[in-house]
A = this chain, B = another copy of it.
Amino acid sequence: MKPYDYHVFVCTCPTCSKKEAESILLAFRQKVEKRGLLDKVKVTRTGCLSSGECMYGPLVVVYPQGVWYRLVTANEVDEIVEKHLAGGQLVSKLLHFKLS
Chain A positions within 8 Å of B, measured between CB atoms, are 1, 3-4, 7, 9, 42, 44-50, 53, 61, 63-66, 68, 96-97, 99-100
Inside 8 A of A9's CB, which chain B residues have their CB? 9, 44, 46
* Cα-based distance from A99 to B50 in the complex (angstroms): 23
- Residues from chain B with Cβ under 8 Å of A4 in the complex: 99
A68 touches B99 (CB 8 A): no
Copies in the complex: 2
Q: Write out the residue numbers on chain B whose beta carbons fall within 8 Å of the beta carbon of A48.
A: 44-45
Q: Among B44, B68, B97, which residue has its beta carbon within 8 angstroms of that of A49?
A: B44
Report the Cα distance A77→B46, complex, angstroms.
Answer: 20
Whole-angstrom CA separation of A78 from B7 in the bound complex: 26
